[in-house]
Amino acid sequence: MEQAEQRKTILIVEDNPANMKLAADLLELHGFTVLKAYEGETALRLLETERPDLILLDLHLPGMDGLEVFKKIRADAGLEGIRVVALTASAMREEEQHIRACGFTDYIAKPIDTKAFVNKIQQLLACASP
């Protein structure tokens, strides 16, 4: 069934509690398993034992920023193949180009568009399926 296919795990790395709640609630409502980290260091520790299907990574995190977290994820051969999507409050064209140039799979602008968010996640995961 479609619900079983959607039972994928998504790691959200977001320091803003309201943004975290909105993203997690939307994803859980659509049958995804959600892992949460409010800072980069926590996300990296979580990735030592978990292998999500997709990572949503805020670029502006306290301590280690999202770009540094992304570089550490990409440097870990055990995490190869996981799609990483940048979450950013900046929807400027230059920011989008920079995100893509860094190697992120895609980006989602904040505030999250609740109607388009889950569709975008489903599309990204469909592209990642073998």
Q: What is the CATH code of the structural domain delimited by 2-128?
A: 3.40.50.2300
Task: Name the helix (H) or strand (E) containing 43.
Answer: helix 40-46
What are the pLDDT digits (tens) for 21-40? 999 999 999 999 999 999 99
pTM here?
0.91
Rounded to a whole number of angstroms, the distance between the first and last alpha carbons of the chain is 18
| Domain boundaries, given as residue ranges, for the chain | 2-128
Looking at the chain, the whole-number percentage of residues with pLDDT higher than 70 is 91
Task: Read off the DSSP letter of residue 79.
Answer: G
**Across residues 15-24, what is the average pLDDT?**
97
